[in-house]
Structure 1
Amino acid sequence: MTSKKILIVMSDTGGGHRSAAEAIAEATHQLYGEACRVEIADPWANHTPFPINRLGQLYGPLVNHSTILWKLIFRSTSNRRGMSILVRIFWPMVRKSLKDFFRQNNPDVIVSVHPVLTYFSIRALQEADLRISFVTVVTDLVSLHPLWLCPETDSCLVPTELARDRALDSGLPLEKVKVVGLPVGSKFAEGVGEKESLRDELGLERDRPTILVVGGGEGIGKVHKIARAIAKARINAQLVVVAGRNKRLRQRLEKVDWEIPTTVFGFVTNMRELMGASDVIVTKAGPSTISEALIIGLPILLSGFIPGQEEGNVEYVMNKGAGTLTEKPQLIAATLAQWLQPENETLTQMAQKAQRLGRPQAALDIAAEIFNLAQARSSSTQSLTLSRP
């Protein structure tokens, strides 16, 4: 049997898109082995002309240092008029590059885990008359930009019921929209052991409550300020701080004379174990970290969010009772001190609600959907016809 070629298109605007792509690739290999060949590509950065190919590099500075401007961009393009302007500006500059890219690759299925690449990829396929199955894997939990929502996709896989409602309201056919969860690494589907055993393996104190503070793979946000506020409050707990790839942050943290037991990590590949060893996580409202915490059943104290796409994540976590939002470091410390009081049942209740929301099989379900479409490609004769914004 000839192996099926799966092309996953993404953009390195935040770490969540790449981690979702890698989780799907991992699950596809786990289920189908050599029957599928998976390639992850960033066609916007690597196959469009200068200076368009550098736009993704502006995302980090925008969301970290110019949140008001990012919020304006997100909201002004989240309606039909704004999308139409966006497309008229960028499509002439990328159309040839994207069409050539897909002609050269000619996969059985294209999977998009990024909103911009969803719309522009489908438009490129339509203009090039390429009959390639297309799967949209939405990696925002609730607040979906309209670029995600192309009715011409063959399958739109969303992480939550609220995202499904948004997709249906935008005009996607009911039969194309499925709630599967957000894809995370296969380790999270395996479960974790007892907290005490995990703490032993990680070199932590076995019987001390554990607070996990993270800033994502890039170590962004107020990680240092939050960790220092918690330590200065002298909470009866131990602190685990993950600095990610942010070497400067890690060095600052390692120089501190901590008031409570504190362990500092850089970029980690054992987040499942760190979460399993912890009683609560402090994190910004990134969808991947939230999804991983829900699978583990870990209460979430959200320390901030990116305006636009992460606003709905906050409401989702709070409305489902899996956590809360507290942005000021001193209030974060005070909240944790209250939750960790011996008679307080808040964390126990949040943990139970969080675990009910987790979808550990999401990546495997997505891989199965992709493979089914790949097998059906040869019998498909319908080309994509794009609805113009």
Structure 2
Amino acid sequence: MAKKVMIALAPAGGGHLSVTRALSEALSELAPDVTISAVNVYSAEYGVFPVPALPRLYALLAVNSPALWRRVYYSTCSQTRYSLIEKAAQPWLRPTLKAALQATQPDVVVSALPALGYTMQRALRDLGWRCPLAVVVSDLINIHPAWITRGAAWYAVPTEEARLACVRAGVAPESIHVLGLPVSRAFTEPPADRAALRRRLGVPQEARVVLIMGGADGAGPVEETVQQLLASGVPAFPVVIAGRNERLRRRLSARIRPSAGRVLGFVGNMAEWMWAADLLVTKAGPNTIMEAVHCGLPIVLTGALPGQEEGNIDFVVANGLGTLATRPREIVQAVGRLLGDDEERAAIRQAMARVRRPQAARDIAQLILATCEQAGERDSAVQSLREGA
């Protein structure tokens, strides 16, 4: 019988969706008959108020009130304190997850987001299901207690630093697999003809393309950086990915001539833009960092969301994957320096080759499928015992 895998995600940011897409792609390649349900567990389809509003609240805090988000993150960074919060939210969260589970009937649940592990286990218990729960951690360094679920079958983590953080939080070392951060195949396979790709994207062939973004919500000093870059005389062709920040996209579109740069909203072909670019300017989102690493695209970090992303800056700088510049003037200077130094960019690409894990999605998918098989064998054994009784 074909197996069913439910991947729980949230629309907060773009990272959970990227991980889910990469895992779904790998699962479909390895086991075409597997049924994959990517479930937004905060959607109005399953959630009761205020659950569907939580992702939007997160985006508002992270983008518009980072100082307040810092307080929220660190005030809940105690396992005891976070557990109390999640338990207090059970009346709203458990019905949501039970509805999602009943709709998908999974053999294995894969959590691609923090915050709901305990609640997912309670929901499974309410239904009387013995369904394994696996956790795919997408934060590189700082691991919030919301990721930790005592009864999880296993954890897949992207780095050794993440593994150590999980061990310190009480996770059994043998249940942790350091497999890398899953990225879609499009980021691991370079285009056959980069010139043709640039023509299709409408990018000048000889231009030094600088991809500028602030995550899925267009956070950070994107607008100021673009304005100063265009006024600086640095020979760069900026391509701005504004994400879901429609206000930012409209403002920049009104100011940048098509011959001087491009302004886009949320795109579904990020890999193509990374392969076409010469440099990336972005905040320290883990998925964006690792996608750029697999494309060999040098990085200028402009900052990080407080809490979960702060450790990513040290990861990038310590591994030689790029540089940090937080103010628009400093960012423009870093862009000019890197574009003018072929040797430094080559050294960064070599450093990226040492840390990339292009097989991460397939390795995690194989682990998911093995867990499906083990769950099926266990259920068959239980059924045989019942029939023989």
2:386 aligned residue: none
Larger displacement relative to structure 2 (263-272 or 113-122): 263-272
Distance (Å, rounded) in 2 between the aligned partners of 1:107 and 1:349 = 45
TM-score by length of 1: 0.90
Q: After superposition, where does 1:137-286 map in structure 2 within 5 Å? A: 137-193=136-192, 195-257=194-256, 261-286=260-285
Distance 1:240 1:54, change over 3 A: closer
Distance (Å, rounded) in 1 between the aligned partners of 2:248 and 2:56 = 21
> C-alpha offsets along residues 91-146 of structure 1, whole Å, 9 cap, x if unaligned?
24433443454355431000101111223212332454421011101111111111
Distance 1:273 1:98, change over 3 A: closer
Distance (Å, rounded) in 1 between the aligned partners of 2:375 and 2:112 = 20
Which protein, 1 or 2, shows the higher relative CO under an 8 Å CA cutoff with sep ≥ 6?
1
Q: Percent identity?
A: 36
What stretches of structure 2 of length at least 5 have no aligned partner? 383-389
Q: After superposition, where does 1:368-383 map in structure 2 within 5 Å? A: 368-380=366-378
Distance (Å, rounded) in 2 between the aligned partners of 1:205 and 1:3 = 48
Larger displacement relative to structure 2 (257-266 or 359-368): 257-266
> C-alpha offsets along residues 262-295 of structure 1, whole Å, 9 cap, x if unaligned?
1223332222222112221001111111110000
What is the alpha-carbon root mean square deviation over aligned residues? 2.3
Which one-letter code corresponds to 2:260 in the other structure?
Answer: P
Distance (Å, rounded) in 2 between the aligned partners of 1:155 and 1:316 = 24
SS of 1:370 mapped into structure 2: helix
Distance (Å, rounded) in 2 between the aligned partners of 1:259 and 1:24 = 36
Equivalent residue in structure 1 for 2:350, among 349, 352, 369: 352
Distance (Å, rounded) in 1 between the aligned partners of 2:51 and 2:215 = 26
Indicate conservation of the 8 Å contact 2:19/2:182, yes or no: yes
Distance 1:337 1:30, change over 3 A: same
SS of 2:115 mapped into structure 1: helix
Indicate conservation of the 8 Å contact 2:50/2:92, yes or no: no
What stretches of structure 1 of length at least 5 have no aligned partner? 384-389
Q: Could you tell me how far 1:299 is from its partner in structure 2?
A: 0.9
Distance (Å, rounded) in 2 between the aligned partners of 1:257 and 1:291 = 29
Match status 1:112 vs 2:87:
no
Distance 1:246 1:72, change over 3 A: closer
> C-alpha offsets along residues 62-102 of structure 1, whole Å, 9 cap, x if unaligned?
11111112111111111133223313421244334434543
Distance (Å, rounded) in 2 between the aligned partners of 1:239 and 1:44 = 35
Match status 1:318 vs 2:317:
yes
Which one-letter code corresponds to 1:377 in the other structure?
Answer: A
1:387 aligned residue: none
TM-score by length of 2: 0.90
SS of 1:190 mapped into structure 2: coil
Q: Could you tell me how far 1:12 is from its partner in structure 2?
A: 1.4
Which one-letter code corresponds to 2:77 in the other structure?
Answer: S
Q: Could you tell me how far 1:365 is from its partner in structure 2?
A: 1.6
Indicate conservation of the 8 Å contact 1:193/1:276, yes or no: no
Distance 1:62 1:200, change over 3 A: same
SS of 2:37 mapped into structure 1: strand
Distance 1:242 1:51, change over 3 A: closer
Distance 1:88 1:192, change over 3 A: same
Which one-letter code corresponds to 2:364 in the other structure?
Answer: I
Distance (Å, rounded) in 2 between the aligned partners of 1:141 and 1:123 = 28
Indicate conservation of the 8 Å contact 2:298/2:348, yes or no: yes
Indicate conservation of the 8 Å contact 2:63/2:217, yes or no: no
Distance 1:71 1:235, change over 3 A: same
2:34 aligned residue: 36
SS of 1:212 mapped into structure 2: strand
> C-alpha offsets along residues 29-54 of structure 1, whole Å, 9 cap, x if unaligned?
12211x20011112344434322332
Indicate conservation of the 8 Å contact 2:207/2:237, yes or no: yes
2:365 aligned residue: 367
Q: Could you tell me how far 1:218 is from its partner in structure 2?
A: 3.4
Distance (Å, rounded) in 2 between the aligned partners of 1:116 and 1:80 = 11
Which one-letter code corresponds to 2:287 in the other structure?
Answer: S
Distance (Å, rounded) in 2 between the aligned partners of 1:245 and 1:53 = 18
2:336 aligned residue: 337
Distance 1:96 1:198, change over 3 A: closer
Which one-letter code corresponds to 2:294 in the other structure?
Answer: I
Match status 1:62 vs 2:81:
no
Distance 1:171 1:56, change over 3 A: same
Distance 1:38 1:222, change over 3 A: same
Q: Could you tell me how far 1:202 is from its partner in structure 2?
A: 2.6
Indicate conservation of the 8 Å contact 2:59/2:217, yes or no: no
